[in-house]
């Protein structure tokens, strides 16, 4: 790890750890010695970060001079907290970690009064029954969807039947009971939803379906909406 990367990760750790963060805890997180943490803290202070504390007592990030202050009204702040906490609860592991990191970054950029409100927001999201773990690399799936790349994976349906699917991924949707991929299935020649926990061995085929993702997704969502209205009416 380069020194620049380490300094960046140290700032992230200071934002996310409950203060005061001791050198020992910071060193364990970054896999370095406490002496290295002492030196890096002084470097960050020299770059303008306001870090309270000292060796033996722990450190608290008071102000990050590299980041301009932000200001939100009360409802905006509650909405941001609720949204990020919801992602933390329902997102895949990588996305959940990203939500926690974003919340920590947000707290570091807010004025003290709003940072307090952020920490103790009235609204929250909590899931007491965890969603099933995805069976594939969701980061790769999201990137393939964004790049409009056709993918291939093994799939086990609700009856236990196994098939290999080749699909054009359109969107990942977070349902009440599972994460699902909305896609155009080449095998069925139709739109299909696939549970991520039933997918295995995800790979790229090399084919592209650009630039059709947005209109295809719009058509699939319209179809899903129509089917939901029909069920409600029936």
pLDDT of 71: 62
pLDDT at position 67 over 70: no
**What span, in angstroms and rounded, lies between the C-alpha atoms of 64 and 170?**
38
Region 26-49: mean pLDDT is: 89
Q: Which fold has domain 3-63?
A: Arc Repressor Mutant, subunit A (1.10.10)
pLDDT of 230: 83
pLDDT at position 217 over 70: yes
Q: Using 50, 70 and 90 to split pLDDT, how confident is the model at 80?
A: confident
Region 119-135: mean pLDDT is: 82
Average pLDDT over the chain reads 87
Q: Which fold has domain 138-233?
A: SH3 type barrels. (2.30.30)
Region 90-113: mean pLDDT is: 82
Region 20-49: mean pLDDT is: 89
**What span, in angstroms and rounded, lies between the C-alpha atoms of 83 and 140?**
23
Region 64-85: mean pLDDT is: 74
pLDDT of 47: 80
pLDDT of 66: 54
DSSP classification of residue 209? -
pLDDT of 219: 95
- Where are the chain's structural domains? 3-63, 74-119, 138-233
pLDDT at position 108 over 80: no
Region 156-169: mean pLDDT is: 95
Region 46-64: mean pLDDT is: 80
What own/partner pairs with CB < 8 Å and gap ≥ 24 does 78-85 have? 78/121, 78/122, 78/123, 79/123, 80/106, 80/118, 81/118, 81/121, 81/123, 81/124, 82/121, 82/123, 82/124, 82/125, 85/124, 85/125
Distances (CA, A) of 131 to 10, 30, 99, 147: 31, 30, 17, 27
Query: Among residues 25, 54, 50, which one has the least CA distance to residue 38?
Result: 54
**Max mean pLDDT range (11-20, 27-36, 57-66, 161-170):** 161-170
Which of 71-75, 153-157, 163-167 is predicted with the least confidence, judged by mean pLDDT? Answer: 71-75
pLDDT at position 64 over 70: no
């Amino acid at each position: 790890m380069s020194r620049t990367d380490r300094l960046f990760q140290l700032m992230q750790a200071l934002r996310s750890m409950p203060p005061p963060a001791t050198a020992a805890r910071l060193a364990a997180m970054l896999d370095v010695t406490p002496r290295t943490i002492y030196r890096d803290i002084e470097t960050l202070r020299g770059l303008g970060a306001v870090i309270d504390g000292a060796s033996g007592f722990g450190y608290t990030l008071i102000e990050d001079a590299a980041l301009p202050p932000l200001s939100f009204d009360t409802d905006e702040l509650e909405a941001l907290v609720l949204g990020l906490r919801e992602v933390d609860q329902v997102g895949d592991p990588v996305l959940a970690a990203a939500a926690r990191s974003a919340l920590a970054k947000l707290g570091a950029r807010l004025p003290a009064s709003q940072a307090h409100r952020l920490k103790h927001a009235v609204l929250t999201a909590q899931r007491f029954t965890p969603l099933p773990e995805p069976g594939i690399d969701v980061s790769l799936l999201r990137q393939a969807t964004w790049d409009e790349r056709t993918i291939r994976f093994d799939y086990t349906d609700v009856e236990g039947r196994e098939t290999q699917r080749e699909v054009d991924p359109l969107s990942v949707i977070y349902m009440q009971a599972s994460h699902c991929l909305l896609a155009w299935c080449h095998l069925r020649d139709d739109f299909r939803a696939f549970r991520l926990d039933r997918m295995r061995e995800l790979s790229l085929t090399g084919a592209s379906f650009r630039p059709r993702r947005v209109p295809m997704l719009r058509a699939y969502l319209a179809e899903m909406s129509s089917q939901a209205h029909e069920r409600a009416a029936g």
